[in-house]
Amino acid sequence: MLPIDPAPTRLDAEQYFALVARGDIRPDDRVELLEGVVVSMSPQGSPHANAIARINALLVPLIGTRGVVRVQCSFRAGRRSVPEPDFAVVPGPLERWEHVHPDEAMLIIEVADSSLPTDRLSKAAIYAAAGVPQYLVVDLRGDRVEAFAQPVPERSRWGLARSVGRGEQIPLTGFPGLSLAVDDLLPRR
């Protein structure tokens, strides 16, 4: 009888951060922990990088002191997931997160170029399970935004998911009275 290799161990957030602390995972490795698996992130092309700059310039003044806008930083989305969303708007003040990574957010935004399947499927489920109230996927190739709201954490699903096109506004559920214009999130035509 042939020996059976044991199933690969899925990491939890503490084990993942221990790998980082030991230097096994370096800051320039561009990886994240999704459901216990260390996953490499796609390199950023110009459209993705430009979208990050555009959305950052829009989001920071819009949110103001109502939250802290974190760009491509670790977010503790449960026991086995530490994604690095393009944007996470977390409760303030900024000093609250000086020694720990946030584990709550009012809004998460991912910019999708080549990463659309991961952002729509894997990350959407992870953010819903974490109870993030609103998740937006800026689909650069599809020229639209996928808006998710009303998370159902126990099912890792969203109660509301819709595709939003140019000319439309997306009300920010965690920030009454604020909204984002889809045209401002997407590249100019």
Q: pLDDT per residue over 76-119, tens digit each? A: 999 999 999 999 999 999 999 999 999 999 999 999 988 899 99
pLDDT tens digits, one per residue of 21-32: 999 999 889 999
Beta strands 179-181; 169-171: pairing state: antiparallel
**Residues of the chain above pLDDT 70, percent:** 96
Q: Which has the closest alpha carbon to 145: 120, 118, 176?
A: 120
Which ranges of the chain have pLDDT less than 50?
none
Full-model pTM? 0.93
Q: Is residue 35 in some structural domain?
A: no
Q: Is the dihedral of CA 83, 84, 88, 90 positive or negative?
A: positive
pLDDT of residue 28: 85
- Provide φ and ψ at 68, rounded to 5°: -115, 125
Our count of domains for the chain comes to 1
Q: Is residue 15 part of a domain?
A: no
Domain residues for 166? Answer: 45-185
Q: Which of 102, 110, 99, 100 shows the shortest CA–CA distance to 134?
A: 110
Question: Which CATH number characterizes residue 68's domain?
Answer: 3.90.1570.10
Is residue 128 within 8 A of residue 156, CB to CB? The reply is yes
**E strands of the chain, at which residues?**
31-34, 37-40, 68-71, 87-90, 107-112, 134-139, 144-152, 157-164, 169-171, 179-181
